[in-house]
Amino acid sequence: MNMSSDFGGRISEARALVGQASRVVVLTGSGISAASGIPTFRGTGGIWGEMRVEDFATPEGFERDPLKVWNWYTSRRREAADARPNPGHQALAELQRRLEARGGSLVLVTQNIDGLHQEAGSKGVLELHGSLLRARCEACRHAADMPAETADAVPACDRCGARMRPDVVWFGEALPQDVYAAAVEASSRADVFLSVGTSAAVYPAAGLIEWALGSGAKTVEVNLEPTPISRLVTVALHGKADEILPRLAAADDD
Ligand code: BJW
Ligand code: ZN
């Protein structure tokens, strides 16, 4: 992390923006869970460096080799079950409690499927890309728990016998409509919009900041490295979310 006084000044600026806001929206991505041991997707050490997106995160990939994809998600389910929220997740949960205590709100929108925000105590989390904790029927959408053990065959639905699938959003699939609509609504009413640990490369999630900017919100980015939104934001903080968020969310000294 850049520890120059300039960086400290930008943290203070961002902290003041958050401190004065009553409606805060936070969009998170895989970078916030990196300190919990969950890999990110893009860049060094990222999942897509080792596995082909087309094979593991598209409906066509699942069609080609359902068991391979199913078991990849069961292994990620296990990885998430073994992981614990880190100080970044905890700072956002604490900030939500503090804002609500003074009549404000914090809407947490996440692209992550690992459930760590909820485990840290965040309420009403909007999961744009689904959840690793659930499977659903391809035909009738009946939901079931996603197992953490690998299987010899992709399980069938208890209700209708059709094939189950992980309840996540793959490329080319629509986001859950009600969840996305709630995220757009909150973003377009935000005083402050915070983007954390995301490469801001995957749409429509990456477009939420446009809704916030369009209605005059102040914007803050917390990410290890610059992204396409860095030049759009009011304050860009480049470093680790688990180190920066606790400083950003710290209660006022007064
Ligand atoms: C740290 C850190 C630390 C590391 N601290 N930071 C507009 C333009 C172009 C294309 C499109 C468009 N609109 C739609 C598209 C197509 C497509 C898309 O966006 N393609 C782009 C790649 C170009 N989008 C879709 O297909 C979406 N669906 C859709 O648009 O449907 C339309 C439709 C409508 C009606 C009917 C039918 C269709 C769906 C997108 C689904 C994405 N799914 C995945 C998999 C989910 C399940 C799973 O996890 O397996 O979601 S892909 C993957 O990317 C996952 C993530 O949620 C998502 C975002 O990744 P994220 O979280 O940003 O991770 P990284 O790795 O990219 O970035 C991490 C960052 O953290 C890095 O910058 C690091 O530096 C940083 N970092 N450690 C702070 N400690
Ligand atoms: Zn079914």
Domain check: are 201 and 246 in the same one?
yes
Q: Which domain holds residue 157?
A: 46-82+134-168
Domain check: are 183 and 209 in the same one?
yes
| pLDDT tens string 15-64 | 999 999 999 999 999 999 999 999 999 988 899 999 999 999 999 999 99
Tokens 């956002």 locate to: 92
Q: Which of 85, 128, 124, 129 is nearest to 105 (CA)?
A: 124
With 0-12 / 13-18 / 19 or more C-beta atoms within 10 angstroms meaning exposed / middle / buried, residue 102 is exposed
* Ligand 1 atom 59, closest CA: 202
Q: How confident is the model at residue 230 (pLDDT cuts 50, 70, 90)?
A: very high
With 0-12 / 13-18 / 19 or more C-beta atoms within 10 angstroms meaning exposed / middle / buried, residue 94 is buried
| Mean per-residue pLDDT, 84-103 | 97
Domain check: are 34 and 144 in the same one?
no
Residue of 32, 41, 54, 112 with the most ligand 1 atoms within 8 Å of its CB, for mutation = 41
**Which residues lie closer than 8 Å to 247 by C-beta, 6 or more apart?**
11, 15
* Ligand 1 atom 36, closest CA: 174
